[in-house]
């Protein structure tokens, strides 16, 4: 059973535009929601993360919006640049001691110049 | 940020041989490391959780006798793919948590590309 659903599967945005990626989760025990960026042939890199006690977190051009009642969270990339072209994964975890991550299916973002 | 390394970055081996992949946390201690497998254009699939000083915890469907995990120190975990076959060809990625900070953050290594001929 997939516990974190991510959409869209792929996204094409013009340079300077806003990229929006959405995720929905099922397990209400989740209490940590990170976003990772992955370039081809590389490991994922942490972009930004949020906990459910806040509704929004911003770091530079990246913003997470969190809706606890809807069990949804999204990543907004402002002023998207060609260098942002990568695959983005949302994830979630809860405190079981080991804190394993459950990943979404990924979104391939292409920012056109 | 914290740095996690993997070695080798890529390996090609013949079917039936064993391959060892190392995962190291370079600037922090990690009581817990995770091993993932990623097929092309797919998400990361958790294979097992590596615990320092104890047996690894394997996800359902992952053969523990085929994917041997050893976490002998707070900075090193190894994954050995035993008797590798072409279907084991994949991108293997490790991650580590900083035990001292008790943060939820996992830092990922650069991955190891395994090709079994």
pLDDT digits (tens, 9 = 90+) for B34-67: 999 999 999 999 999 988 888 899 999 999 999 9
pLDDT of A1 above 60: no
Contact (CB<8Å) B43/A103 = yes
Mean pLDDT across chain A, nearest whole number? 94
Which of B57, B93, B105 comes nearest A49 by C-beta?
A: B105
* pLDDT classification of B102: cutoffs 50, 70, 90: low
pLDDT of A2 above 80: no
Chain A positions in Cβ-Cβ contact with residue B109 (cut-off 8 Å)? 43
pLDDT score recorded for residue B104: 80
In angstroms, the CA A11 to CA A4 distance is 18
| Residue at token pair 């060892």 | B20
With pLDDT > 70 as the criterion, what percentage of chain A qualifies? 98
pLDDT tens track for A24-69: 999 999 999 999 999 999 999 999 999 999 999 999 999 999 999 9
Between B37 and B72, residue with greater pLDDT: B37
pLDDT score recorded for residue B54: 85
Q: Which residues of B30-67 are buried (b: 16+ CB within 10 A; e: fewer)?
A: bbbbbbbbbeeeebbbbbbbbbbeeebbbeeebeeeeb
Q: Which of B42, B106, B110, B111 to mutate to test the interface with A (most CBs of A within 10 A)?
A: B106
Which of B43, B105, B111 comes nearest A106 by C-beta?
A: B43
Chain B positions in Cβ-Cβ contact with residue A104 (cut-off 8 Å)? 43
Contact (CB<8Å) B44/A93 = no
B29: contact with A, CB 8 A cutoff: no
pLDDT score recorded for residue A99: 80
* pLDDT classification of A94: cutoffs 50, 70, 90: confident
């Amino acid at each position: 059973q997939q516990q974190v659903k991510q959409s869209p599967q792929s996204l094409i945005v013009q340079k300077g535009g806003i990229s929006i990626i959405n995720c929905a989760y099922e397990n209400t025990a989740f209490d940590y929601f990170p976003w990772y960026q992955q370039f081809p042939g590389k490991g994922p890199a942490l972009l930004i993360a949020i906990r459910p006690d806040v509704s929004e977190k911003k770091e530079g051009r990246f913003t997470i919006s969190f809706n606890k009642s809807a069990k949804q969270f999204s990543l907004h990339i402002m002023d998207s640049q060609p260098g942002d072209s990568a695959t983005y994964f949302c994830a979630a975890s809860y405190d079981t001691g080991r804190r394993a991550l459950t990943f979404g299916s990924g979104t391939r973002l292409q920012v056109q110049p | 940020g914290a740095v996690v390394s993997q070695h080798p970055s890529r390996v090609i081996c013949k079917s039936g041989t064993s391959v060892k992949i190392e995962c190291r946390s370079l600037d922090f201690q990690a009581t817990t490391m995770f091993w993932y497998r990623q097929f092309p254009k797919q998400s990361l699939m958790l294979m097992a959780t590596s615990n320092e000083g104890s047996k690894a915890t394997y996800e359902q469907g992952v053969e523990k006798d085929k994917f041997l995990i050893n976490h002998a120190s707070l900075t090193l975990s190894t994954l050995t793919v035993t008797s590798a076959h072409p279907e084991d060809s994949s991108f293997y990625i490790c991650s580590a948590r900083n035990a001292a900070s008790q943060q939820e953050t996992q830092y990922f290594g650069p991955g190891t590309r395994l090709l079994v001929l």
